[in-house]
Structure 1
Amino acid sequence: MQLVFASHNAHKRGEVQAIMADVWPSVDIVGPKGDPPEEDGDTFTENALIKARAGFIDSGQPTIADDSGICVDALGGAPGIHSARYSPSGEDTDNVSLLLENLNGVTDRRAYFVCVAALVDGDGEVTIERRWYGTIADAPHGGGGFGYDPVFIPDGQEHTAAEMTAEDKNRVSHRGQAFQALAGALVERYQGV
């Protein structure tokens, strides 16, 4: 079965394909047909549904999407839904640099990633939220992953998410947990399709 993944982020699409294939080997994840919609929701759930709805309207096919970001306790939950656009450039390295600058001298570095995975199809909508808890490192480490992975140390780990293998990260990350759960729900929803 083919699902549209409403994201132009090739890193995310590759992660989601690998995550969902572990639960649903026959699923084929393809990119969106239209331009990305404006993500003007106030929550991760609202933004995930905005993308999934737009993808479904553009393609007519069942569409999945996610909205994710990092929330830092000492910054009142920022960057939150603005994680991808935290710095003026929106580039990963600039976002990470601004986050570290804003945490300069801060000892409470607790944070968590949030991912809301969404499905929109002709039968309705499904959303699943998962979180991944940890702390923010003092400096980036590792060359894997993307986004804030080089500065996020998951609880119980000594290394950043960017130092994990893709397989290990997909098994435990916010996105991994959300899309594993969504894949399980979709297998039941589409059994026999």
Structure 2
Amino acid sequence: MSGAQTRRLARGEQLVLASHNRGKLAEFDALLGGYGITIVSAGQLGLPEPEETADSFAGNAALKAVAAAQASGLPALADDSGLCVAALGGAPGIYSARWAGPDKDFPAAMARIHEAIGDDTDRSAWFISVLCLAWPDGSVRVFEGRIDGQIAWPPRGAHGHGYDPIFTPEGETRTFAEMPEAEKNAISHRARAFAAFRAACLPDPG
């Protein structure tokens, strides 16, 4: 594993994004556009989605990245992210997507959080994003990003996705969903994880 600490992707290299989400593919394609890295998604390669059975964001990201790298023979990048609420003991956490159910009903999931908090005066919360880069030989590198804030109610804003309408980052009065996408993406948990990944694993931009 020590060699993984200095291992970088090279210009012209192909990278598998361990996701079947087209929106996520477009997001990472834009992020990696200046580095000469070609991205292909696990969905495009017909790779199955592994069951997320780990008990942490890092564990689930690693499960997805390692599975994609070993199945494709290419380096693979995966992320796992979610919203953690202090009054709920860190829930929904790694179960953030599952709280929205198979139909991805995030308005219902946000209402569930609001109802569960109840009269608790502690409305602090944080978003976590973990990126894992894996190689076919099993080497992995993990990068975490976090942004703290507060749970807002009622939901506000039409931008973003997921729980963005009820999350107000520290130092802001707007929710993530009230910010222009580019502004939110510049400070988000995923942006912070990507900055660490970029510094450690990407070639100099062209």
Deviations 1:81-134 (A, max 9, x none): 111102444432222221122123222110000111000014621001111100
Partner of residue 56, structure 1:
69
Does residue 1:19 correspond to 2:31, yes or no? yes
Would you say the 8 A contact 1:19–1:180 is kept in 2? Answer: no
Q: CA RMSD in A?
A: 1.8
Cα pair distance change 1:94/1:10, threshold 3 Å:
farther
Cα pair distance change 1:184/1:102, threshold 3 Å:
same
| Letter matched to residue 13 of structure 1 | L
Cα pair distance change 1:183/1:40, threshold 3 Å:
same
Does residue 1:170 correspond to 2:164, yes or no? no
Q: Distance in 2 between matches of 1:158 and 1:132?
A: 15
Q: Distance in 2 between matches of 1:8 and 1:68?
A: 15
Cα pair distance change 1:120/1:73, threshold 3 Å:
same
Partner of residue 145, structure 1:
160
Would you say the 8 A contact 1:15–1:170 is kept in 2? Answer: no
Does residue 1:10 correspond to 2:22, yes or no? yes
Q: Can you give the 5+ residue segments of structure 2 that lack an aligned partner in the other structure?
A: 1-12
Deviations 1:149-183 (A, max 9, x none): 11110000111111112221221111111012212
Q: CA deviation at 1:36?
A: 0.7
Partner of residue 10, structure 2:
none
| Letter matched to residue 62 of structure 1 | P
Partner of residue 67, structure 1:
80
Structure 2 counterpart SS, 1:170: helix
Q: CA deviation at 1:141?
A: 1.0
Q: CA deviation at 1:60?
A: 1.2
After TM superposition, the structure 1 stretch with the greater mean CA deviation from structure 2, 156-165 or 11-20, is 11-20
| Letter matched to residue 106 of structure 1 | D
Q: 1:21-170 alignment to 2 at 5 Å?
A: 21=33, 24-32=34-42, 33=45, 34-89=47-102, 90-122=104-136, 124-170=139-185
Would you say the 8 A contact 2:156–2:165 is kept in 1? Answer: yes
Q: Distance in 1 between matches of 2:186 and 2:113?
A: 26
| Letter matched to residue 128 of structure 1 | F
Structure 1 counterpart SS, 2:153: coil
Cα pair distance change 1:106/1:19, threshold 3 Å:
farther
Would you say the 8 A contact 1:87–1:98 is kept in 2? Answer: no
After TM superposition, the structure 1 stretch with the greater mean CA deviation from structure 2, 5-14 or 47-56, is 5-14
| Letter matched to residue 25 of structure 2 | R
% identical equivalent positions: 43
| Letter matched to residue 28 of structure 1 | T
Q: Distance in 1 between matches of 2:89 and 2:38?
A: 38
After TM superposition, the structure 1 stretch with the greater mean CA deviation from structure 2, 26-35 or 59-68, is 26-35
Q: Can you give the 5+ residue segments of structure 1 that lack an aligned partner in the other structure?
A: none
Deviations 1:6-38 (A, max 9, x none): 1122333333333344xx442333210212100
